Amino acid sequence: MRVQEAPSSDLDERWLRAAQRYAVALAIMERDRQLLLWSRAATRSRGRRIRGSSDDRTVIFERLRALIADGVLPRKPPTKVYAGHAPVAHECVACGQKIVEGHIEFETTCRTAEPAYVHPACFELWRQGVDRQSA
């Protein structure tokens, strides 16, 4: 009578597959660690910039002055402003850049029947411009 031994090849194959899965998991963990370190470095090195709108404040101020002079926007920003996530992409009245869907937007009704959409930073520049002109 012959006794069958458990084939060592099955155990070897299982061990090899486990080692391969472990190596893949280690590679994924290392990649995630590198991405996290890169993300932290990228956010730390960023300067104070207007996010989501034109980076040139003077361009925005000039555009705001022109819109106020043309009567599109009032000189003084409205006090009733709605803030929230943009359900669809809009153009910012102040800088002309697109407000991306899901980003924070300020919505207000000015002299036109249609609402005006503005980046939060652009609205702050609009408010600061009025403070400078009145001072």
Please give the pLDDT value at position 48.
47
Question: 30 with 99: CB under 8 angstroms?
Answer: no
Q: How far apart are CA 124 and CA 114, in angstroms?
A: 21
pTM of the model: 0.54
57-134: CATH architecture: 2-Layer Sandwich (3.30)
Q: Which stretch of 85-89, 97-101, 109-113 has the lowest confidence by average pLDDT?
A: 109-113
What is the pLDDT confidence band of residue 19, given thresholds at 50, 70 and 90? very high
Instruction: Show me where the domains of the chain are located.
Output: 1-46, 57-134
* CA distances from residue 31 to 20, 27, 94, 109, 130 in whole angstroms, order as listed: 17, 6, 40, 47, 49
| Average pLDDT, rounded, for the chain | 78
Does the pLDDT value for residue 124 go beyond 80?
A: yes
Mean pLDDT of the region 108-113:
72
